[in-house]
Chain A
């Protein structure tokens, strides 16, 4: 079955450490996205990628980095520069960024800083 796989589901990080969240899709979608979800707030866009080897900052990119070396994969690194990284992170994909087909979401990764 086609879909998006995020791993791990739960992640604990010590302060000062970088951590990478995985997002893989087999939908042959061109566009991929990373969102952060905090209680009482909507999904906020961190980074997005419209095509391989290209990505753009979203609304809250500070303290995060991404890469898009393969169409199927869009990993997100939460760096030590992110001041408040504890959150639920959702990865999504769409056929492309130029048509409104809607997103397919992964199941999310809950990151906790300890």
Chain B
């Protein structure tokens, strides 16, 4: 059975800290891995990772995929209170030409002022 596991489940840090969120997966027919940020309602897209070892960056956020070890990390440097959210990892698999998304449970990050 396909599964995506995120760790830790929750995390509390202080502003300025650096955090690393983990996402491991066991998915057949892997196509891509995505990270989303969910603050209260709609998850918003952060990154899509398809190739191993290529870091994607957006401001203080960065992410990388390791297809050999089947995991991805999301780094947030110099955290701010606005980074407080649930971070979702999703893996896309392809079966008979149809793309299926498998979501992890999410990591709840709280950044204290």
Instruction: Give the size category of A's interface with B.
Output: 20 to 34
Task: Determine whether A75 belongs to the interface, using a CB cutoff of 8 Å to chain B.
Answer: no
Say what secondary structure dominates the interface of chain B: strand
Task: Determine whether B42 belongs to the interface, using a CB cutoff of 8 Å to chain A.
Answer: yes
**Contact A50 B42, beta carbon cutoff 8 Å:** no
Task: Determine whether A41 belongs to the interface, using a CB cutoff of 8 Å to chain B.
Answer: yes
**0 or 1 for each of A76-114: is its CB under 8 Å from B? (1 = yes):** 000000000000001000100111101101111000000
**0 or 1 for each of A37-48: is its CB under 8 Å from B? (1 = yes):** 000111111000
**0 or 1 for each of B98-113: is its CB under 8 Å from A? (1 = yes):** 1111111110000000
- Across the interface, B98 reaches (CB within 8 A) one of A42, A43, A97, A106, namely A97
Q: List chain A residues, Cβ under 8 A from B9.
A: 40
B: which residues have CB within 8 A of A?
4, 9, 31-32, 34, 36, 41-45, 48, 50, 88, 90, 92, 97-106
A: which residues have CB within 8 A of B?
4, 33, 35, 40-45, 50, 90, 94, 97-100, 102-103, 105-108
